[in-house]
Amino acid sequence: MKIGFIGLGNMGAPMAANLVRAGHDVAGFDTAAVRVEGVTLCATAAEAARGAEVVITMLPNGDILRKVAAEIVPAMEPGAVFLDCSTVDVDSARAVAEQAQAAGLSALDAPVSGGVGGAEAGTLTFMVGGDAAGFDKAGPLFDAMGKKAVHCGPSGNGQAAKICNNMILGATMIVTCEAFALADKLGLSREAMFDVVSTSSGSSWSMNTYCPAPGVGPASPADNGYRPGFAADLMLKDLRLAMQAAETADADTPMGRAACDLYARFVEEEDGAGRDFSAMLPRFETRGRG
């Protein structure tokens, strides 16, 4: 396919590279001076979008998505697919979808799970909202960039799935770190803690796959000085999106709110900025109950 790709950052660049490797013709644009092997770089987002069968965006937030959509939708041909892989607020995703549909385009919101490592390896999971025809057309692209794509329903539901998933992830990582710190103070070794919990009712992805304790379980950012696989800053962004959505939907989310407040303190007042979201463990190691 002829693909336009807007946003060639840490996630977008490897995703675009995987599309090239799969044999697609990719024209790209980014506000930074970047080079991606095999991608034809364009001077504007509209130029990258012009004539493309599918235009993919990977952008930092909803405001930027809305601005880019205003530029590229008029440049796209009716019948093309606007595939946004950013993680943004549900309202922005639905507003952009309405704009695209009014111009005769298929619109998909398809945020991803898997981080930079998944983008590089082509093992991302896509949570997709939008029309079925667009989802089917984009199928080969999901196959090139990831391992799974789930159609979650109408526009905005991809973002809804992403923020609900990451609200669970944020809260479970916090309590996993709390439990390791408590185990330390009770004299229970971390290895014993992992061996029990990872095969018992307390098991979770945060424990089994992404263990926050260095040297315990599979390799994770904890074994690399908590250099981010998924930054605490990004977890805070997603939790704030979840709280924004909960406010709009009148949903009671006390655990999600507590997780959001704690990550805000960790990132903005403590030393969490630029660290992996599992670096909550060294935070709890040094703290008492008071």
Catalytic annotation, residues = 162
Write down the H helix ranges in 50-152: 62-72, 90-102, 115-121, 132-137, 139-145
Secondary structure element (H or E) that encloses residue 147, with its range: strand 146-153
Q: What letter would DSSP give residue 271? A: S
What is the C-alpha to C-alpha distance for residues 153 and 132, in angstroms, rounded to an integer?
8
Alpha-carbon separation of residue 125 from 4, 16, 24, 140, 146 (angstroms): 20, 16, 20, 14, 6
Tell me the pairing of strands 40-41 and 124-130.
Answer: unpaired
Instruction: Report the C-alpha gap between 227 and 264 in whole angstroms.
Output: 19
Closest by Cα among 239, 5, 15, 9 to 118: 15
What whole-number distance in Å separates Cα of residue 163 and Cα of residue 167? Answer: 6
Amino acid at 41: L
Give the residue ranges of DSSP H helices in the chain. 12-21, 45-49, 62-72, 90-102, 115-121, 132-137, 139-145, 157-186, 190-197, 205-208, 232-249, 254-268, 280-285
**Angle (CA) 257 252 260, round 5°:** 10
